[in-house]
Structure 1
């Protein structure tokens, strides 16, 4: 599984459609009867020592289709900064994720656009009842000689059954 790598802050070397082509399938022709959204807090920078020291972390957002039988349609993957301003949108148009497949978005540690209160919003949909997707972020970084990794789980913020 490849990761979207950033050569420099904010510069993507690919997109989800290219980097995760094996994880994607055609959009279902049926009506999308269920939709929802996840909010995922991430920590690309963490203030330490009363704000005098900052640790910067890389972020890998993973979106997993937890359904064994249905495709999961991803309608939006958006990255927001501490003030709530959208920094970047990672989908040009909706994509369908195969059953049990995963896509990822990578934010490099030197990409400080998100700040200490960064977050993602992931909008999804499906043609019928589906296992709720698993959406989480892995942060990784170094402070001095220590290496740290931690996970932030996405929180459902809406589910709509049409």
Structure 2
């Protein structure tokens, strides 16, 4: 009887481990890449109040090389407006970031050209497979003692296989 009870307990433990560990670890795997295209939503303004008034926001695009050993090269950082029209190319030549280095692009609060649906398209590459960079936009605005700030994460839209 004791041996049978131990088998049942052992079987239950195996079942618990095999069903909960993959779920608990899902999304924690490190994904390596050599080249990606990233879409980053930004908001030149948001609408507020009952009259749907635009509330202008400053935008900062933050790019961070989170790889400890390898440099990363940003090929292009392009800014598009609400209608998908290219407003500005921010890189005249590729930008290399050393391991754990970061850089940013700042758009003033008074610059309304992007509109509500503005975005950046960021392309990067590396000679080795590396930890993909963290690319996000930070929006902030203040008016009459009121302030707003929030962050948008970049999203991979193309895994470039070279």
RMSD, matched Cα: 1.5
Counterparts of 2:106 and 2:82, CA distance in 1: 18
TM (norm. structure 2) is: 0.76
Q: Does 1:152 align with 2:159?
A: no
Match of 1:142 in 2: 142
Please give the per-residue CA displacement for 1:39-77, whole angstroms capped at 9, x wherever unaligned: 000111112346631100000000000111111000000
Please identify which structure carries the higher helix content. Answer: 2
Residue correspondence of structure 1 range 35-114 to structure 2 within 5 A: 35-49=35-49, 52-114=52-114
Counterparts of 2:160 and 2:60, CA distance in 1: 27
- Shift in Å, 1:146: 1.3
- Shift in Å, 1:34: 2.4
- Shift in Å, 1:151: 0.3
Please give the per-residue CA displacement for 1:112-148, whole angstroms capped at 9, x wherever unaligned: 1101111001100000110010000110002432111
Please give the per-residue CA displacement for 1:11-39, whole angstroms capped at 9, x wherever unaligned: xxxxxxxxxxxxxxxxxxxxxx9211110
**Contact 2:37–2:160 (CA under 8 A) maintained in structure 1:** no
Counterparts of 1:45 and 1:74, CA distance in 2: 27
| 2:35 aligned counterpart, secondary structure | strand
Match of 1:125 in 2: 125
Q: Count residues with an aligned counterpart.
A: 130
Structure 2 unaligned runs (5+)? Answer: 1-32
TM (norm. structure 1) is: 0.76
Counterparts of 2:50 and 2:122, CA distance in 1: 32
